[in-house]
Copies of this chain bind each other. A is one copy, B any other.
């Protein structure tokens, strides 16, 4: 009979002690088998589940172990069985940064014995030997520190104490409680690895962004400054946004500078594109002289902070030919055989005003550190929100390293990934550490397309936090060109309620700017290339709708997350209905949006009453938070009508009637 050793097996753990009989499997939440962390925000409760399986019918015990990475000590809490061999525990994430979690489980010999003793005793069996076995288990517990020596002695007192009395002692809650203090974990098994959750500041999960070009905030015909932009902050704060996001604020290159509407050659006085970063005055850690000084910038940031507005900077890792790094760090760029530096291109298109960094440079370590230090520089000036331009043209391993480096120093730093590219690359960027991500929402306009897309991104919610933008300086979609106010309102409501994170590129949005540059899916007279002056007081501005929506968002916990999103059928393809509820179900918001910007639509909405916590047989109230109208509804099917000339959407708060004393009241 052969008994030779088998070859080592990489996937099965080595058998150290064959008496360890419990397996902890399928620990979750998990992303890619634990390769990437799951994401939560400060104050969230992390609900953890695992499957615990063992042979036979013994009673198991298990603890969830967790610790913040900065804390060497594990905290442990018991896992509780939740049916079908699933066990659950949860804990509050009270600190920014990364936590690790894993599971430890073992056979609870005393609890197993206790259950058997109870059953046998109840069945009238002779349990004298069982009592002696219990005494042995208690002896072992005494060695582990339980003050139960007397109980062990009593269980053995076969003459002095009756079996019934000994059983009563053995089964007493006091004895179990003492045993629980000294569990025997000598044969415990741990889940195969530690998983990680990254805890970010709440703004990572719930935020309203407002993008503006500071240079367009000055008096007409002048280059706006940080001081001008500061005057705009009250307006942004009144609109109810959380974040004011500035396109790049650095010196703008002169070489190959673009003119208005991307004209190939700028004329003297043309301000150039803020994304052509770097000139004699400096690069990624300098500010454009026409905007002001670093001190002016600091003053702007402080003024924003006073208004509870966070400032987001646009970090675009590319250089104009005039960027100081081109001379200081030539190895960070790619030299061509003719001695020129490789500019950006997407053959046959050429972007001679932009030098990409060469991430295959032999000097990559210095390049990585230099780019990280750009974030660190601005973080040291108080910036914690970064919108990252085109991250999908820089390597994923760089981002995984860089964002971690920044968050290790500034755990409240968050990052928005501006990647409009292939879905798996967008998801890989999110896995690599981006807190939020731009999405395809901008192009999803029909009910089936919206529902399908939302279902897709809900499936990746453990790591991908969508941020919905109806428009950006780079994208002005077709449906807004001719959609008029109805389209602007419906896209605004969809963005603000479908996604807990959303953003508006203003003031062009609230002023319904809608002329495309011919042949290009972006606005004409684009602020990317020229100064603009905006009439914020125009009577048709959407500012009041925006302000109301942001007020509703803040007041309603249901809108602070996306996991509860449910679509509800309607019998009109142009009416989309969906709900969200708060984790404790106390707040429920139901949105119904008319997707046709021009015509009134009406139809029947079919609600999932159980999901919404609504009664099947009583009336309830739907309160439109936009118009303040209140309707009494009953049952699953109810009628709605939306005229886009009035308002393209209902944003209903749902309220049950409750009977109090002799009258009806609404219960929130």
A538 lies within 8 A of chain B by Cβ: no
Query: Given A1-B377, A34-B11, A56-B393, is A423 in contact with B23 using a C-beta cutoff of 8 Å?
Result: no
**How far is B5's CA from A409's CA once the two chains are assembled, in angstroms?**
10
Interface locus among A212-220, A336-344, A594-602: A336-344
Distance between A47 CB and nearest chain B CB, rounded to angstroms: 19
Interface locus among A25-33, A319-327, A540-548, A644-652: A25-33
**How far is B346's CA from A115's CA once the two chains are assembled, in angstroms?**
11
**How far is B135's CA from A336's CA once the two chains are assembled, in angstroms?**
12
Interface locus among A13-21, A446-454, A615-623: A13-21
A18 touches B119 (CB 8 A): no
Query: Given A84-B424, A346-B57, is A25 in contact with B33 using a C-beta cutoff of 8 Å?
Result: no
Beta-carbon nearest neighbor of A51 in chain B: B424
Interface locus among A229-237, A398-406, A571-579: A398-406
A7 lies within 8 A of chain B by Cβ: yes
Partner of A397, one of B15, B116, B133, B373: B15
A119: chain B residues within 8 A (beta carbon): 347-348
A348 touches B129 (CB 8 A): no
Partner of A394, one of B10, B30, B55, B373: B55
A35: chain B residues within 8 A (beta carbon): 11-12, 25, 192
Copies of this chain, whole number: 2
Partner of A54, one of B36, B380, B396: B396
**How far is B425's CA from A404's CA once the two chains are assembled, in angstroms?**
39
A398 touches B18 (CB 8 A): yes
Partner of A33, one of B33, B120, B128, B336: B33
Partner of A26, one of B32, B125, B338, B408: B32
A92 lies within 8 A of chain B by Cβ: no
Q: Interface readout for A335-377 with B: 1 if CB under 8 Å, 0 if not? A: 0111010000111100000000001110011001100010011
A160: chain B residues within 8 A (beta carbon): none
B56 touches A2 (CB 8 A): no
Beta-carbon nearest neighbor of A405 in chain B: B6
A129: chain B residues within 8 A (beta carbon): 336-338, 340
A227: chain B residues within 8 A (beta carbon): none
A380 touches B53 (CB 8 A): no
**How far is B33's CA from A527's CA once the two chains are assembled, in angstroms?**
48
A69 lies within 8 A of chain B by Cβ: yes
Beta-carbon nearest neighbor of A123 in chain B: B348
Partner of A395, one of B54, B120, B196, B405: B54
A347 touches B424 (CB 8 A): no
B401 touches A132 (CB 8 A): no
Q: What are 23 pairs between A and B in contact, CB < 8 Å? A: A10-B193, A10-B196, A11-B196, A15-B401, A18-B398, A19-B360, A19-B364, A20-B395, A21-B360, A23-B396, A23-B397, A51-B424, A54-B396, A55-B425, A56-B393, A85-B422, A85-B424, A115-B347, A119-B348, A132-B337, A133-B337, A135-B337, A187-B360
Rank and list the top 3 A-B pairs by shortest CB-CB distance, nearest first: A33-B33, A123-B348, A132-B337
